Structure 1
Amino acid sequence: MEIASNNAAVAVSPLSALISMFYEPSATFQRLEPRPRAWVPLLLLIISSVAVMSWYFAVVDFPWLMDQFAGALKTVEEREAFAKTMTKSVLHFSTVASVVVMFPLMFAISGVYLMIVSKSMSQGMSFGKAFALSTWASVPGLLMLPLGAMQIMLNPSGQLEMSALNPLSLNQLVFHYDMAHPMAGLMDALSVTTFWSMFLMMIGFEVWAKVKRSTAVLVVGLPYLVIFGGWAAFVMATNS
């Protein structure tokens, strides 16, 4: 029976893992453990994000968008410099490039952290396994493809801020800060998918590092608390 279970785990397809991650994450991480295939969610996240951003820049009212960016700058000099250097193609390329670089870098940093912490416990994780855990925990981010597409189609005028492509952010759901507000960036970064991914990473770390759930909650939750808590403290300190 154990041999059959192991064979099923090895044979799990990336597509079935992507789907089951939404409704049975613990069992999915168990099936993925022999062959995590980190490249699957990584490539899908990059491709879907690039697709949404490319569509966005193809239809956005760019003069209107530049007015929104300019309104968030504090001085006339900053606005003039921004207007001279920022064209539609430059902004499009820089956004896509940041997506392509950001995902692997973010997962690598997370992987190093999880590897180091797990090695201080009973069973250490390799960097490759910790990297894969970070990528699979980010699967909820794939929802940004249909949600972003929906936002674009619901705004035929093209007057849509980039942050509005994620209707699940706390800013879009609750606060509705404009781009110039000091807390806008933080509230745009905090999203339903952020907390969902954190929850999945806790489950995955519990399964792959063979630790108690309370330990997984502490290990995974601490960086989120430090990063977002520090961000909030900085914003409040600099705008008090």
Structure 2
Amino acid sequence: VLLMTAIIAAVLMATFNFGTGARVKYKTAYAIVMYGGLPGIISALLATVSLLAGTDPEGFDVRNPIASNPAYFMDAGGNQFAYAMASALDVFVLWNIVLMGIGFACNSKVKRSTAILIVAAWYLVYKLGGAGLAALFS
């Protein structure tokens, strides 16, 4: 988790510093990414409660433990590209993107919409790459 956070912070810092001309320090970018990821704790707690509440362990999908994205309602064995892209529309991930965008906007003097768009664009690139690999190896 920490290594992935460090990589995300470095990529976003570089994008804001070179792409928008802002001056964001690495430690600030790292803090923004860490705090932006806090809604993931709520998602993990809901998944834990769902599992402990009597969900069938055989039917429990670790990749989609709660119904927070359209992929929860899809067959995991079907079209892998569509499944991966549907899982990208997770409520908690979108919340993370907005929080990170607001954090970068406040610290870089970039418009809030621009900052959210930059974070969302990198997330889209990441998910398209992952979905492409999932489709390739399925």
TM-score normalised according to structure 1 size: 0.48
Residues 110 and 134 in structure 1, CA contact (< 8 A), matched pair in contact too: yes
Q: In structure 2, what is the Cα distance between the partners aligned to 1:133 and 1:235?
A: 29
The CA RMSD over aligned residues, in Å, is: 2.5
**Where do 5+ consecutive residues of structure 2 fail to align?**
none
User: Which residue of the partner structure matches residue 216 of structure 1?
Assistant: 115
Paired residue type of 1:129 = T
Q: Which structure: larger Rg?
A: 1
Identify the match of residue 39 of structure 2 among 120, 135, 140. Answer: 140
Shift of 1:139: 1.2
Structure 2: distance between partners of 1:156 and 1:225: 31
2:128 match = 229
* Sequence identity percentage: 26
Aligned to 1:9: none
Count residues with an aligned counterpart.
Answer: 134
Q: Residues 163 and 199 of structure 1: is their aligned pair in 2 closer, same or farther, counting only changes over 3 Å?
A: same
Instruction: Name the CA shift for 1:128/1:153 in 2 (closer, same or farther; >3 Å).
Output: same
Residue 194, structure 1, aligned to residue 102, structure 2: no
Distance 1:104 1:238, change over 3 A: closer
- CA shift in 2, pair 1:234/1:150, >3 Å: same
Change (3 A) 1:164 1:151: farther
Change (3 A) 1:236 1:165: closer
Aligned pairs for 1:25-174 (under 5 A) are 103-120=1-18, 121-155=20-54, 157-159=56-58, 160-172=60-72
